[in-house]
Amino acid sequence: MWQGWFIAVCIVGGLSCGSLHFFKSDFYRQNKWQALTTLLQIVASASAVFVLGSAFFLVMPNLSLVENRVLFGVITSGLLLAVWGVMQWSYLLPEKMRTGFLVVVVGGCFLIQGRQANIVTLINALSHQQYMQETHAVIAVHINQGGPLQRIHFIIPRSNYPYDRFFMANTALLQLYGQDHYKIAWCSLARGVPGEEKDRQNETIACVNAQPKNTVAVTYSYDAEPFRKTPAMAIVKNHYQEIDPTS
């Protein structure tokens, strides 16, 4: 939360300091209309650059959540504005101190952001480790009960990416069955295909039933969404849990 306030203070303070510096400049005092015209051109050009810098994230095909697109776009523009704001703040200091001020503030900001990024990456890694352990445990229990395994169905939070469950299931089966003793197939909605998984249950069941012997089908559904059960089916529930990386 405080990172957002820091960026906001840098931007707002930079705008205030930059405006004060501009209106006190000799260029503005000597020719106000030309100075204002130049200022508007700079603002328009900078805005266009920020929009173009953010547009790449807005059209990325692999980001299915709109919130992620907007977030990445805002961060791209916000960091540039924050650095510019720090530069404007530095004009309040003596000239000899400006370079050191910029290095300390900008460098410290990136170090802190890097630490936060590492924490988020660690939390994601721990979450996937937990999901992997849950998957392995459920499949192992099903196999130890002596029944055949034809399908592995994952129930996941809507915020999760579903297609990595195929690789989780494959890893668990490799550990339990061994290499060359099984085959695996994806029977849910393929990536990039429009539609919702809950609306194509007939196609999913047909795909599961069409698999040959020793082939395990992998499917998924989101929390609170209906899905059709089939014989020889293991259900893995990956519920979201808050993870403390320091514990």
One DSSP character per residue, 1-12 reads: -HHHHHHHHHHH
Report whether 151 contacts 232 (CB < 8 A): yes
Tell me the C-alpha distance between 49 and 77, whole Å.
Answer: 9
153, 234 contact by CB (below 8 A) = yes
CA 6 to CA 12: how far, in whole Å? 10
Dihedral pair phi/psi, residue 224, rounded to 5°: 70, 10
The DSSP call for residue 230 is -
Q: Work out whether strand 151-156 and strand 233-237 pair parallel, antiparallel, or are unpaired.
A: parallel
Is 236 in a helix, a strand, or coil? Answer: strand
Q: Give residue-wise pLDDT tens across range 172-229.
A: 999 888 888 889 999 998 887 888 888 888 999 999 999 988 899 999 999 888 888 8
pLDDT score at 53: 61
DSSP strand pairing (183-186 vs 215-222)? parallel
pLDDT, tens digit, for every residue of 107-131? 887 787 778 778 878 887 888 888 8
pTM of the prediction?
Answer: 0.60
Are 221 and 197 in contact by the 8 Å Cβ rule? The answer is: yes
Q: Where are the alpha helices (DSSP H) in 59-94?
A: 66-90
Among 9-13, 118-122, 138-142, the range scoring the smallest mean pLDDT is 9-13
For range 4-22, the mean pLDDT: 70
Which H or E run contains 218?
strand 215-222
CA distance 86 to 30: 28
Q: What DSSP designation does 189 have?
A: P
Q: Which residues contact 96 (CB under 8 A, 6 or more apart)?
A: none
**Average pLDDT in the 150-161 region?**
88
Q: Is the pLDDT of residue 12 over 60?
A: yes
Buried b (16+ CB within 10 A) or exposed e, 128-150: eeebbebbbebbeebbeeeeebb
Please give the share of the chain, as a percent, with pLDDT higher than 70: 79
The pLDDT value given to residue 244: 59
* Residue where the block lists tokens 């900008």: 106
